[in-house]
């Protein structure tokens, strides 16, 4: 079942949930370069969920993730994480609370080695450290002294994901991590997102263009359109065709 964007511009109400939300956006408005992009996003994500966010180019998916992390200011509405109001919190504080983002482009430092890149995300008190990362991506252990700028696209993306994981987040947001990768690496990235969710118990929000892949890994799908949540359904209740029609 879909919920179309109402003419009034009012977002559909969040569905009632039995588990308290880890992340809660309530009527969030945000602008980019002076233009409204998010126009009242209301979204609840419970701890342990794996939510995919879809939407056409320019729909505001990256802006949504960046807003959660405090990189884009909230004009109206509220963002809560683990019950705390983080609407106007500075990004480092939001990261310390347990939010991490793999950005859409270049989530790594090309002129630093793998090990130095990983040190950037590191937290001494976290449950994810180098051992866990190297177990997840053995190639990064082998290449730990190599400059990231000299590595393949897939390996760079592994570094970007690893940096985000090194802060031992409770919520990992991935912004189109598989774009430009070969099919076998796309599959690996999806597998890693699933592993992170099931083995580390990290809540995952995955922005992705590949609808078929999304439906294989996520448990819930959210479609953003014109800065509003157009659809928010468990994966079991939507089909790829249905989503294609919305995009
Ligand atoms: N630096 C910028 N300067 C001006 N406008 C921007 C900038 N970044 C994004 N925008 C605009 O903000 C809107 C939302 O962009 P956003 O990057 O959030 O979309 P998206 O859904 O992530 O798109 P894509 O699928 O292409 O990544 C778009 O209309 C885009 O053109
Ligand atoms: Mg984007």
Structural domain that includes position 184: 21-105+171-246
What tokens does 160 get? 């970007």
Burial 35-67 (b: 16+ CB within 10 A, else e): eebbbbbbbbbbeebbbbbbbeeebbbbbbbbb
In a domain, 124, yes or no: no
Least distant ligand from the CA of 71 = 1
**For ligand 1, what atom is nearest to the CA of residue 104?**
27
pLDDT on residue 2? 41
* 57 contact partners, CB below 8 Å, separation of at least 6: none
Number of domains in the chain: 1
Q: What is the distance in A from the centroid of ligand 1 to the CA of 58? A: 5
- Residue ID of nearest Cα to ligand 1 atom 30: 58
Residues with CB under 6 A from ligand 1: 32-33, 37, 55, 57-63, 104
CATH number at 197 reads: 3.40.50.300
- Residue ID of nearest Cα to ligand 1 atom 6: 32
pLDDT on residue 157? 94
Q: Which residues surround ligand 2, an ion (CB under 5 A)?
A: 61-62, 104
In a domain, 159, yes or no: no
In a domain, 13, yes or no: no
**For ligand 1, what atom is nearest to the CA of residue 33?**
4
In a domain, 137, yes or no: no
Q: Is residue 242 packed enough to be buried (19+ CB in 10 Å), middle (13-18) or exposed (0-12)?
A: middle
**For ligand 1, what atom is nearest to the CA of residue 207?**
22
The strand pairing partners of 174, in sequence order, are: 102, 206
pLDDT on residue 18? 57
Q: How far apart are the first and last CA of the chain?
A: 15
- Residue ID of nearest Cα to ligand 1 atom 17: 62
Rg (CA), the chain: 17
What tokens does 6 get? 């109402």
Cα–Cα distance, 201 to 170 (Å, whole number): 8
CA 240 to each of CA 132, 212, 213, 215, 220: distance values in angstroms, whole numbers, following the listed order: 34, 6, 10, 7, 13
- Residue ID of nearest Cα to ligand 1 atom 3: 33
pLDDT tens digits in sequence order for the chain, 247 residues long: 444 444 444 444 444 555 679 999 999 999 999 999 999 999 999 999 999 999 999 999 999 999 999 999 999 999 999 999 999 999 999 999 999 999 998 889 999 999 999 998 777 777 899 999 999 999 999 999 999 999 999 999 999 999 999 999 999 999 999 988 988 999 999 999 999 999 999 999 999 988 988 999 999 999 999 999 999 999 999 999 988 888 8
In a domain, 140, yes or no: no
In a domain, 14, yes or no: no
In a domain, 28, yes or no: yes
In a domain, 58, yes or no: yes
Cα–Cα distance, 87 to 90 (Å, whole number): 9
């Amino acid at each position: 079942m879909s919920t179309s964007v109402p003419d009034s511009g009012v977002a559909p109400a969040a569905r009632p949930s039995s588990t308290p939300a880890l992340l809660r956006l309530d009527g969030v408005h945000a602008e980019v370069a002076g233009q409204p992009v998010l126009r009242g996003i209301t979204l609840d994500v419970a701890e342990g969920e794996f939510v995919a966010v879809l939407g056409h180019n320019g729909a505001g998916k990256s802006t949504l993730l960046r807003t959660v992390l405090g990189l884009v200011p909230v004009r109206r509405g509220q963002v809560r994480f683990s019950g705390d109001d983080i609407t106007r919190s500075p990004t480092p504080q939001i990261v310390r609370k347990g939010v991490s983002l793999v950005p859409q482009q270049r989530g790594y430092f090309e002129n630093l080695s793998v090990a130095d890149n990983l040190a950037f995300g590191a937290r001494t008190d976290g449950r994810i450290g180098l051992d866990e990362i190297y177990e997840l991506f053995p190639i990064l252990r082998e290449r730990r002294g190599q400059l990231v700028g000299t590595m393949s696209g897939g390996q760079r993306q592994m570094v970007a994901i690893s940096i985000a994981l090194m802060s031992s987040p409770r919520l990992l947001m991935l912004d189109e991590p598989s774009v430009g990768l070969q099919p076998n690496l796309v599959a690996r990235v999806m597998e890693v997102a699933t592993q992170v969710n099931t083995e580390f118990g990290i809540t995952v929000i995955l922005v992705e263009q590949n609808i078929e892949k999304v439906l294989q890994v996520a448990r819930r799908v959210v479609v953003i359109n014109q800065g509003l949540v157009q659809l928010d359904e468990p994966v079991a209740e939507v089909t790829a065709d249905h989503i294609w029609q919305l995009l």
